[in-house]
Amino acid sequence: MTNHNILIVHAHPADFACDAAATMALHAERGDRVTSLVVSHGERHHMQWLHDQKLMPTHKQDSDLSKLNLTNYREFKKRETERIAEVLGISELIMLGWIDGQIYFEQEKIEQVSEVIRKVKPDIFITRLPNVLSESTHDDHPETARIALKGLRHAQDRVMEFDGVESYRGVKQVFHSLAGGEEVNNNGMLLPGITPDVWIDTSSVIEKKVHAIDQLVSQGYHGQTARRIVEARDGRWGMIAGSAYAEPFIRPYGLIYDSLPLTPRALNDVYQPTHKDFVDTPVNEIPSATPEVAYKLLP
Ligand SMILES: [Zn+2]
Compute the average pLDDT of residues 224-230.
Answer: 96
How far is the centre of ligand 1, averaged over its atoms, from the C-alpha of 10 (Å)? 7
Residue 269 CA, ligand 1 centroid: distance in Å: 36
Report pLDDT digits (tens) over 163-177: 999 999 999 999 999
Ligand 1 geometric centre to CA of 9 (Å): 11
What is the CA(101)–ligand 1 centre distance, in A?
A: 10
**Gap from CA of 15 to ligand 1 centroid (Å):** 5
Tell me the C-alpha distance between 283 and 88, whole Å: 17
Mean pLDDT taken over the chain: 92
C-alpha 70 – ligand 1 centre gap (Å): 19
Q: How far is the CA of 13 from the centre of ligand 1 (A)?
A: 7
Distance 141 CA to ligand 1 centre (A): 6
For the beta carbon of residue 117, count every other beta carbon within 10 angstroms.
25
Please tell me the predicted confidence (pLDDT) of residue 190: 65
Residue 160 CA to ligand 1 center (angstroms) comes to: 35
Q: Which residues pair with 124 in a beta bridge?
A: 6, 173
What are the extents of the domains in the chain? 5-295
**What does the pLDDT look like over 22-58, one tens digit per residue?**
999 999 999 999 999 999 999 999 999 999 999 999 9
Q: Region 234-240: what's the mean pLDDT?
A: 90
Among the residue ranges 58-72, 95-109, 251-265, the one predicted with the least confidence is 251-265
The pairing of beta strand 33-40 with beta strand 92-98: parallel
Q: Top-level CATH class of 5-295?
A: alpha beta
Q: How confident is the model at residue 202, as a pLDDT?
A: 97
Between residues 236 and 205, the one the model is more confident about: 205
User: SS3 for 115?
Assistant: helix
Could you tell me which residues are beta bridge partners of residue 177?
128, 249
Contacts of residue 182, Cβ cutoff 8 Å, sequence gap at least 6: 132, 135, 136, 137
Q: Is residue 187 a contact partner of residue 240, using CB atoms and an 8 Å limit?
A: yes
Tell me the CA distances in angstroms from 247 to 51, 71, 190, 209, 215, one per residue in order.
Answer: 31, 34, 20, 11, 20
**Crossing angle for the helix pair 206-214 and 21-29, to the nearest 10 degrees:** 120
pLDDT for 220 equals 97
The rounded Å distance from CA 81 to ligand 1 centre is 13
Contact 295, 62 (CB under 8 A): yes
Task: Determine the distance separating the centroid of ligand 1 and the alpha carbon of 281, expressed in angstroms.
Answer: 28
**From ligand 1's centre to the CA of 168, what distance in Å?**
28
Query: Which pLDDT does position 2 carry in this prediction?
Result: 86
Residue 295 clears pLDDT 90, i.e. is over it:
yes
pLDDT > 80? residue 270: yes
- Centroid of ligand 1 to alpha carbon of 157 (angstroms): 29
More confident residue, 129 or 82: 82
How many angstroms separate the alpha carbon of residue 14 from the centre of ligand 1? 6
The alpha carbon of 166 and the centre of ligand 1 are apart by a number of angstroms equal to 32
- In whole angstroms, give the CA distance from residue 141 to residue 133: 9
Given a contact cutoff of 8 angstroms between Cβ atoms, the answer to whether 34 and 91 are in contact is yes
CA of 278 to the centre of ligand 1 (A): 29
